[in-house]
């Protein structure tokens, strides 16, 4: 059965599922009519280096995706819909074995003004080592991004997606397999769209897989930013950390749901997750739901936690005694809070680039 038929045969998702509890499917569907798959245009996509230099050999963005993705560990509804919608908007980022780049690679996705969708498959070769930024910009009312693929044996990759739509809705779904001894930092920086729904799933299928999933989320006005993250340990000696920071202002709402699963036989697995939410106004709301599902007794450790709180008044007072006004002090504390996860997303060049992007967002948003 193809993706379109699979989607059209599905029922509307149950609100009891954490994935859809806070953001009904009808609200993130491009038209609101969940019985249809509307025509969507292709965004403009390009690959480059953040300093403008030439791409090194060994990395290439090509049209098309080979084969049918495995969505067995993902939301069948979301991925079937996005896969069917992106039938004429498919791309593969191919990275050769042993590829290395000192400067971060940037994949620019420009949505334009019309509702659009893209499917990007990551095929990261063995022992590759590099940093990838996927930056989404534009002013369309709706954008869908499906990312699938595999990070192969021994690869070391920092993979950051930054969503900076001017308005509208962004629907994102990741289903990424992490192979033997691969080391991955998967960062999400989100601010700008009025509504975001992300379903991010990482599957460690072989021994020694290592992933850190990091989030720096900034919401203001009436934004509704909902991120669901799952990390599946399916092999021994696998390691994961999930650290998610959200700063919520105005009448905005952020949601973070995390699920760590350790399958039977995944001996020596080590998993933990933490959500931190900074509430910037009395009307802002942040929800965090960390969950664990452990089927193996012989594990290194499993833990989870969440914490919410307002800006520290003592820190505000300290900054104001050093010459900051109220707004600049508030921005500095928000930046410091979000920077705690930004610093882990990559090296110094990538971090400086992310900080500059975040600073622009802080200056343009009223918390």
> Is the residue at 18 inside a domain?
yes
Number of domains comprising the chain: 1
pLDDT in tens, 193-234: 899 999 999 999 999 999 999 999 999 999 999 999 999 999
Boundaries of domain holding 75? 3-311
Residue 359 is assigned to a structural domain of this protein = no
Model confidence, pTM? 0.93
pLDDT band for position 364 (50/70/90)?
Answer: low
The three-state (H, E, C) secondary structure of the chain, written as one string: CCHHHHHHCCCCCCCCCHHHHCCCHHHHCCCCCCCCCCCCECCEEEEEECCCCCCCCCEEEEECCCCCCCCCCCCHHHHHHHHHHCCCCEEEEEECCCCECCCCEEEEEECCCCCEEEEEEEEECCCCEEEEEEEEEECCCEEEEEEEEEECCCCEEEEEEEEEECCCEEEEEEEEEECCCCEEEEEEEECCCCEEEEEEEEEECCCCCEEEEEEEEEECCCCEEEEEEEEEECCCCCEEEEEEEEEECCCCEEEEEEEEEECCCCCCCEEEEEEEEEECCCCCEEEEEEEEEECCCCCCEEEEEEEEEECCHHHHHHHHHCCCCHHHHHHHHHHHHHHHHHCCCCCHHHHHHHHHHHHHHHHHCCC
Any domain includes 25: yes
The answer to whether residue 180 is domain-embedded is yes
Q: What is the pLDDT of residues 135-149, one digit of tens each?
A: 999 999 999 999 999
Tell me the pLDDT of the chain averaged across its residues.
Answer: 91
Does residue 280 lie within any of the structural domains? yes
Residue 80 located in a structural domain: yes
Q: Is residue 362 part of a domain?
A: no
């Amino acid at each position: 059965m193809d993706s379109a038929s699979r989607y059209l045969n599905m029922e509307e998702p149950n609100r009891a599922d954490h994935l859809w509890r806070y953001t009904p499917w009808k609200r993130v569907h491009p038209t609101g009519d969940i019985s249809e798959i509307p025509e969507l245009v292709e965004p403009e996509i390009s690959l480059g280096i953040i300093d403008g230099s030439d791409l090194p050999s060994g990395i290439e963005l090509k049209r098309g995706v080979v084969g049918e993705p495995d969505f067995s560990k993902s939301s069948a509804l979301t991925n079937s819909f996005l896969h069917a919608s992106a039938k004429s908007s498919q791309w593969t980022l191919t990275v050769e074995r042993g590829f290395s780049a000192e400067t971060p690679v940037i994949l620019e996705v420009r949505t334009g003004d019309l509702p659009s969708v893209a499917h990007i498959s990551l095929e990261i070769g063995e022992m590759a080592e590099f940093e990838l930024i996927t930056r989404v910009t534009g002013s369309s009312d709706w954008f869908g991004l499906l990312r699938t693929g595999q990070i192969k044996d021994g690869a070391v990759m920092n993979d950051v997606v930054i969503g900076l739509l001017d308005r509208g809705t962004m629907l994102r779904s990741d289903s990424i397999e992490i192979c033997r001894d691969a080391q991955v930092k998967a960062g999400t920086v989100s601010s700008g769209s009025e509504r975001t729904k992300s379903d991010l799933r990482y599957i460690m299928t072989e021994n020694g897989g290592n992933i850190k999933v990091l989030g720096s989320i900034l919401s203001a006005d009436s934004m509704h930013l909902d991120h669901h993250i799952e990390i599946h340990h399916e092999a021994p000696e696998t390691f994961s950390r999930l650290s998610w920071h959200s700063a919520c202002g105005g009448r905005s709402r952020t949601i973070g749901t995390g699920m760590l699963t350790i399958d039977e036989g995944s001996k020596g697995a080590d998993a933990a997750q933490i959500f931190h939410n900074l509430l910037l106004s009395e009307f802002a709301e942040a929800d965090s739901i960390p969950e664990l599902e452990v089927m193996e007794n012989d594990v290194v450790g499993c833990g989870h936690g969440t914490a919410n709180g307002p800006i520290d008044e003592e820190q505000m007072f300290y900054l104001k005694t050093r010459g900051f006004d109220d707004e600049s002090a508030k921005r500095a504390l928000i930046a410091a809070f979000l920077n705690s996860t930004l610093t882990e997303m990559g090296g110094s060049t990538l971090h400086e680039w992310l900080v500059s992007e975040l600073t622009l967002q802080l200056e343009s948003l009223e918390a």
